[in-house]
Structure 1
Amino acid sequence: MTEMLKKMRQRWKLVLGLAVGLLIFSVSVGISGAYVLAYTSTEEFCVSCHEMSYNYAEYKGTIHDTNRTGVRAICTNCHVPHEPGPLLWAKIKASKDVYYTYISPSIDTKEKFEAKRSVMAQRVWLQMKESDSHQCRSCHRADKMSVDLQSAKAQVRHAKGKAEGKTCIECHFAIAHKEPDGPGPAELFGNTATNSQ
């Protein structure tokens, strides 16, 4: 009987050891993953590639960079989803940028960047349209906006946009970056959006 108890104890020690090891491994991976997600969401990381220096320079001094309230939007506020699942998926999809940056550079000069600006902007506008401008709404909450503090023109446009089921990006674009040549949101979405910087 004692031999059988010894074997049972050894099995339980092994199971317990494996469980503790798995727990430590899971926590380590979780912490490492959280660190990587947090680090790759910093402004410093976003502009560490010289390809991003072109559009970062034009962002500097805009209302999203410097304003009377001191509230800033950095790259990830506008270009990355904020929920964990979509955020992780966006980071996985963004890994293709390593290929286009280092292996087969497609925007490694200002000229190449400008040639692709319209395509890149339209891709972002479409994503924002599909998400109902979620990135905008994470900072600009309609339920917290004071309509009385808006100009009469803005009040009318916001009411009209709401009635027509429009989303932020359909009117508010080219605010943090230069407006590219080619079709804007109005042409892309088939409406009469106008840039209201």
Structure 2
Amino acid sequence: MPPRALARLARWAAGKRAFMVLVAGFFLGVAGLSVFGTTMVYTSTEPFCATSCHEMANNSNLEYMGSSHDRNRTGVRATCVDCHVPHSPIPLYIAKMGALNDLWSHHVTKAVDTKEKFDAQRPKMAQRVWTYMKGNDSRECRHCHNPANMDPDRQSPQAVARHAKAKREKLTCVDCHFGITHKVPEGGPGPQELEVDRSLIPRSAIL
């Protein structure tokens, strides 16, 4: 090939190189976002949360099966994800990063790989979840249960009185509604006895 033709081809390739880099970057970005999104979705499914590791399958999931969140008169189920995974983007990403710590501290280190170990850690794990839920005003509970849509006429007089008391005392859902699905650990403080910085709790959706 003549030198002039080679030079012309080199100039053409140089001009296209930047374009090809941009195209390659675009497709790599799309692929990366697809993998990220798929990972977020898959790790937020009931099968993944309940049965992907024996710690959950042999403990928490067994307690969940047959509970009121699993089987009830309406047939509406609340799965692991509904209660334990935030539904808003930023809290979701933060929770997923925290889950990496759980993967290490619970699964890799085999800290709760037997029922005996799991039960020994139950008070600590329960109190951590209760504190987290109190700190965000039971955000995941409110994803399904909207106090504004509660009909007092369809509630028992006892429920109406207790909800009014909760509003007066600025309690949140988990202060009263706990141990619904999982066993309550023996000994130690319950949700109402746990201290949190209540000034950080949003009051916009309080009962």
TM-score interval, normalised by the smaller of the two chains: 0.7 to 0.9
Moved more, 74-83 or 125-134: 74-83
Which residue number corresponds to residue 193 of structure 2? 187
- Identical residues among aligned pairs (%): 47
Given residue 50 of structure 1, which amino acid in structure 2 is its aligned partner? Answer: H
Given residue 20 of structure 2, which amino acid in structure 1 is its aligned partner? Answer: G
- Per the alignment, in what secondary structure is the counterpart of residue 48 of structure 2? helix
Which structure has the larger Rg? 2
List gaps (5 residues or longer) in structure 1: 191-197
Q: CA deviation at 1:17?
A: 1.3
Q: CA deviation at 1:189?
A: 3.8
Q: 1:165 to 1:5 in 2, by over 3 A?
A: farther
Give the one of 163, 169, 172 matched to 2:174.
169
Which residue number corresponds to residue 149 of structure 1? 154
Mapped partners of 2:168, 2:9: distance in 1: 75
Taking the TM superposition and a 5 Å limit, the aligned residue runs for 1:47-62 are 47-52=51-56, 53-62=58-67
Given residue 153 of structure 1, which amino acid in structure 2 is its aligned partner? Answer: Q
- Per the alignment, in what secondary structure is the counterpart of residue 194 of structure 2? helix
Which residue number corresponds to residue 126 of structure 1? 131
Q: 2:55, 2:107 within 8 Å by CA — same for their partners in 1?
A: no
- Per the alignment, in what secondary structure is the counterpart of residue 107 of structure 1? coil
Which residue number corresponds to residue 72 of structure 2? 67
Give the one of 80, 98, 102 matched to 2:85.
80
Q: CA deviation at 1:77?
A: 1.0
- Per the alignment, in what secondary structure is the counterpart of residue 145 of structure 2? coil
TM-score, scaled relative to structure 1: 0.88
Mapped partners of 2:158, 2:12: distance in 1: 77
Mapped partners of 2:177, 2:170: distance in 1: 15
Q: 1:24 to 1:107 in 2, by over 3 A?
A: same
Deviation track 1:21-46 (CA, whole Å, cap 9, x = no partner) reads: 11111111111111111111111111
Q: CA deviation at 1:6?
A: 7.7
Deviation track 1:54-74 (CA, whole Å, cap 9, x = no partner) reads: 121111111110111111111
List gaps (5 residues or longer) in structure 2: 1-6, 197-207
Aligned residues: 189
Given residue 72 of structure 1, which amino acid in structure 2 is its aligned partner? Answer: R
Moved more, 133-142 or 80-89: 80-89
TM-score, scaled relative to structure 2: 0.84
Q: 1:164 to 1:8 in 2, by over 3 A?
A: farther
Q: CA deviation at 1:98?
A: 2.8
- Per the alignment, in what secondary structure is the counterpart of residue 121 of structure 2? helix
